[in-house]
Amino acid sequence: MTPRSERATGALFCVFGFSSGTRMQRIWLATDGRPHDSVLAVFSSEASAKRYQSLLVDRYSLGRNLSLMGKPLARDADSWRLGFGPEVIERRVDENPDFLRGAWVVKVDESCRMVGCEFSTKLKPSQPPATYRVGIHRVCQAHGLTPQAALDAARKAMVSHLGRTRT
């Protein structure tokens, strides 16, 4: 069907293999070319999501009594049956862009000099800084919306870290 004939006939939209009885708006996914790590499926109703969750638990439980070289294949099957396995979570379709992944990552050394800078679609700008050792040196990595904001956050975190270690 062409877009014009869709409007004329009032055709239903089918998203992720599910069609609704009413006309759905389109959804837009922003990706970096890789699939999202933790999303297993997207459903238009809670009942469908619960049905899939139950199916996953049943599939996993099939290996409850099996083992390979003395290690159980599905050691968490009883936990999954109690509800500690896959979850069904309700989420908004439109997320706040300020809290999504996509940040500048800057690394500084003990002299607060930048030793690394890159853009990452895996990290969030609001992620807290991290300090770690590389050989005999300490490196602080911080994130920000801009390279300068990430550099400022990394320098501030390094000064704070050095102040704690010397006292």
Structure tokens at 107: 């690394």
Structural contact between residues 44 and 16, judged by C-beta atoms closer than 8 angstroms: yes
pLDDT by residue (tens digit) across 23-41?
A: 555 555 555 555 555 567 7
- State the burial class of residue 149 (Cβ atoms within 10 Å of its Cβ: 0-12, 13-18, 19+): middle
pLDDT of residue 28: 57
pTM of the model: 0.52
- Contact in structure between 125 and 145 (CB atoms under 8 Å): yes
The answer to whether residues 24 and 13 touch, using CB atoms and an 8 Å cutoff, is yes
Predicted confidence band of residue 47 (pLDDT cuts 50, 70, 90): confident
Considering 1-5, 76-80, 118-122, 150-154, the range whose residues carry the highest mean pLDDT is 150-154
Under DSSP, is residue 103 helix (H, G, I), strand (E, B) or coil? strand
Distance CA 44, CA 165 (A): 52
Q: Are 110 and 162 in contact (CB under 8 A)?
A: yes
| Integer Cα distance of 167 and 164 in angstroms | 6
